[in-house]
Each structure stands twice: as structure tokens, then as C-alpha cells.
Structure 1
Amino acid sequence: MRLLRKEEEKRREANRRGEVGVSSPEAMATSVTLEDIRAAQSRIKTEVIRTPLVLSDAASERAGLSVYLKLENLQRTGAFKVRGALSKVTSLTPEERRRGLISASSGNHGLGVAYASSRFDTRCIVVLPENANPHKVALLKKMGAEIISHGTTSDARQHKVEQLSQESGYVQVHPFADPILIAGQGTVGLEILEDLTDADEVYVPIGGGGLISGIAVAVKQQRPSTRVYGVEPERSNAMWEALRHQGPFALPRVETIADGLAARITERLNYALVRSYVDDIVLVKDADIIEATLFLLEQAKVLVEPSGAKGFAGLLANAKRRGKAVAVVSGGNITLKQIEALWPG
């Protein structure tokens, strides 16, 4: 028994490092566990806000069932991403932190990494798309991040990060495909079930898949009967295509109003976790995302960016919805000018 336990520990460590020979989705799905997520929660709990889970009368009336909003738009930096960034940074050695951190981001992940870096007096470099959201760029500069603009797709930015890491020795903080980062994002799932132990459904926005990977593990390993739904834009549906092709699939192009969800491809780790723990993916149109954004702002009194409204948009689009439903409001980094541009007419 002791030998088997040691072999299991070796296998899990190999999964974490992505070593050759440990490549099946079933094996990779063991790379993040409930124990890992609870450990991340212990490391970061003094640095993050335990965001409220609110029963929304307006959203419930609109959906025809009880809708609870997990308000990560109230999180530090305005989005859930800081959880994963802090989970990663608190796992590093002092020597690794001294080398500096680098990440690819459309904005919110970079903000999370910049905040975590500032808490540990660590250099932070963020590779943004050339068409990055100006508001998020301004916030990153305010936090002291060094910004590099490169390309317009998520994979182009990631390639640039890998190149600079090799050249300068920076520590990479991947936006969604790192087990330690995923464990940090999974703390959202722990809090959901702590506050609503009988949740029937949880709707989670998907970009690259880090948030849903963590939440799905946290929820399903505690309450398997709770249905977990991922939500993607119809024209930025890398996870949906990965499930259809039985592995990561590069989209020919990405077009969506939700800039925080514009991932051209997911990674094998996220695909494996979603394949194992997520019940279904709901696809939504950009028009649905805009409608959900404006509804949450005007009727539910929640300031949310389009990426953050996608969970609620998916809930409304799911004809099979029932019971007590949670929509994760993943971010609120949006300006009044940007909101005005969304308004019809």
C-alpha cells in the first residue's frame, strides 16, 4: 500500500510538470484536486476579498428560477484573476521571485499578476495584444507593470512570453494552464458551496479555461450532483471545439465583444479537467452577452464587463436550467464610455 501511494505521488507530480508519457486526459485530470484548492485558499485568503454570493431578485425574475450572483467584479483588481496569480506567486521561492514574473494577458490576468507581484516587491512584465483594452492598459501601468504589445491572438502572446522567458530567465505565470494557478481560481468554487450548499447549477465564463477548471474540480469533488456549465461566445469557442475534436483545437480566428475571453486555443490540462468535470458548454451570441451586461447593470445594479456577464448570458440561453443557479460574475473592468458604446441606438 505504501509503495502504491508513493507511485501515485510520483504520477501526480509528473502530471503537474507535463512530462512525456503522462498525457492521457484521465491522467492529466488528476493534476488539480480539492486538496490543492484548499491549500491555495489557505495561502491566499489574507490577500483576496471573499466576494459575496447574492440572490438577485431581478436576475431570478428574468430567468424564472433562483439566481445567485458570485460577484468577482468586487475582487481586488476587479476580476477573479488575482486569485490564481496569488496562488502561483505564493508558491514560488524567493529566488524565483527575484528573477521576475512574465505573463501573456488580454488585461485581467495581467492585472492579477501585477497586483500579486507588487505584494512581494517582484518585477512584472505583461505581454498584451496590440489592440488591448485601453482601460486595462492604464490600470496595468498604474500598478507598475512593464508592458510589451505583441500580436492580436492569445497563442502569439504566449509564444512571445516563452521566448522572453528563455532569453531572460523570467518565471512564467500562464493565464490558464498551470495547476497551481487553477487551484487558486478554484477557491471561487469553494466559496460558492460554503455559501450555497445545495446549489443545483453553476455557470462559469470560459476564455482559456482556468476558472472553470478550478471551479469544476472544487464543486464536483464536493457535490457531484451540482451541474457545472461553461459558457463561451459562439465565435470564440476554443473549449467547445476541443471537446468536439477530443483535444485542443486552434480556432482560425476569434471574434467577440468579450475581450477577456478571446482565447484562440485551450491547453491539454484545461481540456482534460473540463472533459472530466464539466457537464456541458453553452454557446452564446455577442448580442446575448451585451444584453446580459446591460441587464445586470440596469436591473441588478451590478457593474460588469461583457466577459464577466457571460455566465448569466449562458444561464439565460440554457433551456434546461432548473433549481438554484449560480452565475459567476467574473470581472467588472469597464468604463462608462465603454458601457455607453454597448447601448443600442
Structure 2
Amino acid sequence: MAPIVHQTPLLTSHTIDDMVGKKVYCKMENQQKTGAFKFRGASFKLMQLSKEELKRGVITASAGNHAQGVAYAARKLGAKAKIFMPEETPLAKVHATRNYGAEVVLTGESFQEAYQASKEYELLSGGVYIHPFDDYDVMAGQGTIAMELLRQEDRIDTIFAPIGGGGLISGIAVACKHINRNIRVIGVQASGADAVYKTYHTDRVHHLPEVNTLADGIAVKQPGKYTMPIIQEYVDDVVTVTDEQISASILFMLERNKTLTEGAGATALAGLFAYHKEIKSRHCGVIVSGGNLDINRMPEIQGLAEGNSPFEKIKQMA
């Protein structure tokens, strides 16, 4: 993967360290190619395909980062990509996906409808389906984040990562436990899309009738068939944060560290701010998973974090 993906930097901040009483290292996947970690999993998956499979083309459905990751990876490997996106997908994401060379089909009101259309097309076309998270090769690609992070800072004893369907944290948890079983891996979900949280803590698979969170990158209604058993075996805890906490973390990163994160990208940091007193850690890694924020949502984000500066808001929450 080294010649293909960026080795993203670690961001450190004395302000964050002082607030949580730990040394914190933010793994800045918002600076990855296509603006999110998804390029890693898509690239590794496509690298496993035969020439014949690549010739057939690849298919997927996505409302954002996975679409761009698959589109760019397919272009790099000379494969055609057809990507189904909901009709209400922000035009910036649609244009970005097309600019990476993919054919985009806008269909349905939600991701679920776009996904259904993509699966129907798969049967007709014979193309190779690239699932956004429920695929072992995709998980392995995401796990390279942890391998990089632990080479950049080998003292890390705890890692916070966001969870949607579970592909990112599955790869990270397996990689971490392979290197050092004592590293704690903590998953963070938005409280309005907490299917993995509920499944993890009840041992009964939860399917949510709807999801409601500004962190659209992790707004998944049910855990993955393949990711959930890995999460249950290798992840040490799963917690939730509110949209208010996520919004404050987005604004904090923008104001204090001059870096833009999307809702899903700020979720792990929000988890650290919310639960740092309960975590025995001296060196903590935080996965900032993406930066493809729809700027039109900034007033909503400011409204959720209204009342104080982000710095003061987070101090109150912590």
C-alpha cells in the first residue's frame, strides 16, 4: 500500500493534552487521498482482483467517501467504476466522484435505495461489488492506518476510532492486537446511529428503523455480518457521543488546529473528550477519519454547539 496511499501525519496539541491529561496523537486521515480513509480499503480490495475481474468493472453504492475512494482506486488500476448514489447527495460529492473517473447513477431517496439498485445492477452486469465495510479485504486495507500509526508513535496504548458499519475499527483492532494485545481499542458511535453499540452491549443484533445524525459517514442502520464478530472479539469497548459533542469537536479542530473534519471524522475525538476520565491511558491515538464536510451544514453545526466557544464547550462536556 505504501506507494499508493499517503502516510498521513500525526497532529499533536498541547491544548488537547492538557484538557484530557494524556498525550494525544490524532491520525489525520482527513488528509488522505480523496479526503478520507476509505481510499485505503478500496485500493487494497481492488489490488486483490484478477485482471479478468478488473476488466469486468466494479460496482458500489455510497453517499460520499466510499464512492470517491472506489472511483479513484479504480482509475489507478484501470478499471471502470459504476457508483450508485442517492438523489439528494450533495453535488460537491457527486462531482468529486465523477472527476475521479466513475460513472455515477443518482437513484432513490436514501442510501438503502441506492444500495438496492446497485445490487440489482450487479446481477445484470457481472461486475465486482465493492462493499463499503463488510468485506475482509476492505477491512485489511483500513487496518494499515493502525500499522502506520504505531510505527509513527510506538508508545500508544489506546486508540479511539469511529464506527459506522465497522470496517475501519475491525481492521484497526485486528492490526493492533496482532502487534500488541495490550493496546486498548475503543469504538465511538453517534447516539443517533448506534446499532453496533447496542449489539456490542447486548449480544443481540440490532437493526435500526432509522438513523439521525450529522455524522452521515457513520449513519448505518445495522452492523456488518462480517465486521460485528470481529468487533465483539477484538474491540475493548464501544461508546456513544451526541451530535452536540461531535459539532463542538468539529469547531474545536477548526478553531484550534486549523483543520476541517466531517462529522464522522470528529466522532472519535468527541469520544476522547467525553470519556477521557474513564480511560487509563498515557499515550492515546485518535483516528480523524475524514474531512469531506458539506459546508452547507456549518450553520447547523454551529447551532448544535451554540452557547460557548468550542474550547469552553468541550471543557464543560469533559
Query: TM-score normalized by structure 2?
Result: 0.90
The answer to whether the 8 A contact 1:202-1:229 is kept is yes
Counterpart residue number, 2:293: 334
The answer to whether the 8 A contact 1:201-1:229 is kept is yes
How does 1:80-91 map onto structure 2 within 5 Å? 80-91=37-48
Q: Does 1:323 align with 2:282?
A: yes
Q: Distance in 1 between matches of 2:111 and 2:178?
A: 30
Q: 1:133 to 1:230 in 2, by over 3 A?
A: farther
Identity level (%):
38
Q: Distance in 2 between matches of 1:241 and 1:147?
A: 34
Q: Could you tell me which amino acid in structure 1 is paired with residue 291 of structure 2?
A: G
Q: Could you tell me which amino acid in structure 2 is paired with residue 203 of structure 1?
A: F
Q: Could you tell me which amino acid in structure 2 is paired with residue 165 of structure 1?
A: E
Write the deviation string for residues 95-144 of structure 1: whole angstroms up to 9, x where unpaired.
11111111121210010000001112211111222332332122112222
How many residue pairs end up in the alignment? 302
Q: Distance in 2 between matches of 1:340 and 1:64?
A: 31
3-state SS of the aligned residue for 1:59? Answer: helix
CA shift at 1:59, angstroms?
2.1
Unpaired runs of 5+ residues, structure 2, are 307-318
Q: Does 1:170 align with 2:127?
A: yes
- Partner residue of 1:304 out of 217, 241, 261: 261
CA shift at 1:280, angstroms?
0.7
Write the deviation string for residues 174-197 of structure 1: whole angstroms up to 9, x where unpaired.
000110111000000101111121
Q: Distance in 2 between matches of 1:80 and 1:161?
A: 22
- Partner residue of 2:106 out of 144, 149, 152: 149
3-state SS of the aligned residue for 1:136? Answer: helix
Counterpart residue number, 1:51: 8
Counterpart residue number, 1:193: 150
- Partner residue of 2:17 out of 60, 72, 81: 60
CA shift at 1:282, angstroms?
1.2
Write the deviation string for residues 226-277 of structure 1: whole angstroms up to 9, x where unpaired.
1101110001012112224425421011000011111111212100110010
Q: Could you tell me which amino acid in structure 2 is paired with residue 186 of structure 1?
A: G
3-state SS of the aligned residue for 1:292? Answer: helix
Q: Does 1:269 align with 2:226?
A: yes
How does 1:5-16 map onto structure 2 within 5 Å? none
Q: Does 1:233 align with 2:190?
A: yes
The answer to whether the 8 A contact 2:200-2:238 is kept is no
Q: Distance in 2 between matches of 1:157 and 1:209?
A: 20
Q: Does 1:278 align with 2:235?
A: yes
Q: 1:151 to 1:320 in 2, by over 3 A?
A: farther
Q: Could you tell me which amino acid in structure 1 is paired with residue 198 of structure 2?
A: E
CA shift at 1:170, angstroms?
1.1
Q: Distance in 2 between matches of 1:250 and 1:335?
A: 27
Counterpart residue number, 1:129: 86
How does 1:10-29 map onto structure 2 within 5 Å? none
Write the deviation string for residues 125-179 of structure 1: whole angstroms up to 9, x where unpaired.
1122233233212211222222223345544433322211111111000000110
3-state SS of the aligned residue for 2:257? Answer: coil
3-state SS of the aligned residue for 2:278? Answer: coil
Query: TM-score normalized by structure 1?
Result: 0.83
Counterpart residue number, 1:10: none
